[in-house]
Amino acid sequence: MRDQYHDELDAITQSLVDITRLAGSAINRATTALLEADLQEAEAVISGDAAIDQLYADIEARALDLLARQQPVASDLRILITSLRMVADIERMGDLALHIAKVARRRYPASAIPPELHATVLEMGQVAQRICAKCSSVIAGRDLQLAAELERDDDVMDDLHRKLFRVLLDDAWQGGIEGAIDVTLCGRYYERFCDHAVSVARRVIYLVTGERVTVES
């Protein structure tokens, strides 16, 4: 019975890795949709969010079932509670990729991002994808060194986010109010996507060390 119980705990961890990879694929495809005005990619992200939501519900149900059946204590309890919190962060990452795809769809056949900001937004997408891939590895291997790297990667995203605002606030901005709103929203979605990934990494640190790290809301 205990072997089965720990197999179920391991299965939840693997599912957390799987849902994180789905979120990473979603942000990558959403970035393509946004920059290339690719309606097919936008629709794929939008329809694919159902798989993320389903996996989220499945992980949550399995974790709650184990809590009810096994009444775990100590480290096992910490694993289950932390898993419930992590999967909520990851599901939100999927939602943020979905929001970016919806901006791309709304502006089709034009691109929502003006040419002068393409390079910056492309880099934001690449940073988000890299952070998500590291997040998956942190969950799978409980890698504290990699978890610490995510903090530095998030600083890069924050710098890019500020760069967007400098362009928007410059008197030379010619993108209009509607364009500024699109850029502002997308910049915020990328920034929050990475914040949630960092929250996951911090929860893994707590899982391994038992030391609480402040998690941003």
The domain that contains 36 carries what CATH number?
1.20.58.220
Q: What is the mean pLDDT of the chain?
A: 93
Does a structural domain hold residue 215? no
Total residue count of the chain as it appears in this document: 217
Does a structural domain hold residue 137? yes
Does a structural domain hold residue 42? yes
Does a structural domain hold residue 217? no
Q: For the segment 110-153, what is each residue's pLDDT rounded down to a tens digit?
A: 999 999 999 999 999 999 999 999 999 999 999 999 999 998 99
Does a structural domain hold residue 74? yes
Does a structural domain hold residue 216? no
Does a structural domain hold residue 81? yes
Which tokens sit at 78?
A: 């910490």
What residue spans of the chain are helical by DSSP H? Answer: 2-36, 39-70, 74-107, 118-141, 144-169, 176-209
Q: For the segment 7-31, what is each residue's pLDDT rounded down to a tens digit?
A: 999 999 999 999 999 999 999 999 9
d(CA 87, CA 204): 12
User: Is the pLDDT higher at 48 or at 73?
Assistant: 48
d(CA 193, CA 44): 19
Does a structural domain hold residue 214? no
d(CA 88, CA 108): 31
How many structural domains compose the chain?
Answer: 1
d(CA 168, CA 122): 17
Give the range of the structural domain holding residue 113, as residue numbers without chain letter: 2-209
| Per-residue pLDDT band at 5 (split at 50, 70, 90) | confident
